[in-house]
Amino acid sequence: MFKKTTSLTLAFSGLIMLVTSIVLYFGPAGQVAHFCPWQFWGLNRHYWMMLHLNSGVLFCLAMLVHTWLNWRLLTAYMNLKKSGLRGIALAVSLVLTLYVCIGGCFNLSPMKQLIGVARSCRIASLKAYGSPPYGSGRRLPGGTDCRIYGLEPPKGHGPAYQRPHSP
């Protein structure tokens, strides 16, 4: 029962991550989404990000438990002492994983095309919804963001106060 529950949790959380990844991939950029009325299936970008993060944490936990439960089988897959396709499967799996993970940094296909589609979606969202009224809030002098929303800044946060930058 524990193995079945772990496998199903892994599958369901992976499915949710797949759906949220697709929605976030084609949705407007973060800065634009905070200032536009964009929603998909009744949820805005904040809730899609929350679903993606929470399902990702659940997926990682289920993956760790799944790995622990199937450790013997996984080590058998990676056993290079036995001849045959096992060593080839391990090599292909490692090369494919490294290629996909590093390929985006070096503009390799098909990651280059995926990044291009994402960039096109971001540009389309800028055309559809316009640019945000201001850039990153941490670059604004302290209290400016309060004034944008019509609030009084806290005492000591006059125009000369600079909010500390996060790393």
Per residue in 45-97, pLDDT (tens digit) is: 788 888 889 888 889 999 999 989 988 887 777 766 665 666 677 778 888 88
User: What confidence score (pLDDT) does residue 163 get?
Assistant: 47
pLDDT at 162: 47
Indicate if the alpha-carbon torsion angle 2, 79, 96, 102 is positive or negative: positive
Question: At 40, is the pLDDT very low, low, confident or very high (cuts 50, 70, 90)?
Answer: confident
Handedness of CA 98, 100, 106, 108 (dihedral sign): positive
pLDDT at res. 143? 53
Per-residue pLDDT, averaged over 146-155, amounts to 60
33-42, 50-59, 130-139 — most confident range: 50-59
CB-count burial class (<10 Å; 0-12, 13-18, 19+) for 20: buried
Rounded Cα gap, residues 5 and 14, in angstroms: 14
pLDDT at residue 158 is higher than 60: no
Task: Provide the whole-model pTM.
Answer: 0.60
